Amino acid sequence: MLFEQTKTIISFEANELSAWKIKVNNNQSEFEGKLKKTFTPESLVQVLTSLKTELKINSLRLLLDEEKTYLVLFDFPLKETLDRNTIRQKAQELIPEFLEEGYFDWKQVSQDKINVRIQILAVSKNYLLPIQQAFKKAGLTIEAYEPISFALARLTLKEKEPHFLIYYKGNQIILCAAFQGQVFEVITFTNPVLIAEKTSQLAAFLKEKWQIEIRKTISANLDPVLGLAMKNLKGKDEQVLNLNPPAVK
């Protein structure tokens, strides 16, 4: 056995918190257990404190609500200076939310002779800060943040061509296009009758914008919890996409 760790993943949905213990072994992951707890804004710290004791944990990974995050992809000319400020300026043109330092990150996902391709993850400070504060008060550290789409894309890294991923989270349907860990686009909706229509529309958009054709759709055996558990936080800064919000009091 070369590598084995247990990761704790937490996600929120309405007034319910779900926590999973995941065993990660040689880039494979499997469930060890799951807890669900209901909470109110007033009781969240108490619930998290209880969870810390029950699971015997100090750190965890947070699966972010897809509709609370921005995940965009763009090409950046190699001839221009590639640094955080320049990337931030370009990303700000594409994201309708002010990019607070620590609440966005980027990584390089590919490169050709002309451009380098950049993936951006951003989240609203107004959404994330109260969550940070609650975890801080409960004595818990969030070591990784990731939206569902990006965690799903990690599960299909070995696919040989671009593909659609469909995931059902309660009443929400998440449709994203991915390849080699890149997430090209993500849309969310609630009516399953619209899946074929939304997929067709997204395929046409991707063909025009990225000159790619997607013929494959994957919806079985997908769980973003397992994908987030497999996230590797080591490596050069430009290779790891992870938010690093300022410490809270």
Tens-place pLDDT, residues 119-147: 999 999 999 999 999 999 999 999 999 99
Concatenated DSSP letters of 30-79: EEEEEEEEE--TTTHHHHHHHHHHHHT-SEEEEEE-GGGEEEEEEEEETT
CA atoms of 241 and 245, how far apart (whole Å):
13
Within a domain: residue 198? yes
Are 105 and 14 members of one domain?
A: no
State which residues form the domain around 53: 4-65+127-148
Are 55 and 171 members of one domain?
A: no
CA atoms of 7 and 24, how far apart (whole Å):
7
Are 61 and 72 members of one domain?
A: no
Within a domain: residue 131? yes
Task: Please report where in the chains the tokens 């790619």 appear, as a residue.
Answer: 212
Mean of the per-residue pLDDT values for the chain? 91
Is the pLDDT confidence value at 1 over 50? no
pLDDT score at 237: 45
pLDDT score at 56: 94
**Most confident option among 52-66, 84-98, 105-119, 220-234:** 52-66
Mean pLDDT of 52-60: 95
Angle formed by the axes of helices 44-55 and 125-137, to 10°?
60
CA-based angle 60:62:64, to the nearest 5?
A: 180
Which neighbouring-strand residues pair with 120?
72, 106
Within a domain: residue 247? no
Cα 89 from chain centroid? 22
Query: Higher pLDDT residue, 27 or 66?
Result: 66
% of the chain surpassing 70 pLDDT: 96
pLDDT score at 3: 57
Sheet holding 163-169, edge to edge: 182-189, 172-179, 163-169, 216-218
Mean pLDDT of 173-197: 96
Within a domain: residue 176? yes
Tens-place pLDDT, residues 14-25: 899 999 999 988
pLDDT score at 145: 93
Cα 44 from chain centroid? 22
Strands (E), the chain: 4-13, 16-25, 28-38, 59-64, 69-77, 104-111, 115-123, 141-147, 163-169, 172-179, 182-189, 216-218
pLDDT score at 14: 86
Total domain count for the chain?
3
Query: Higher pLDDT residue, 79 or 9?
Result: 9
Are 136 and 52 members of one domain?
A: yes
pLDDT score at 238: 46
Mean pLDDT of 228-248: 74
CA-based end-to-end distance of the chain: 40
Mean pLDDT of 59-68: 95
**15: which 2 tokens?**
């007034």
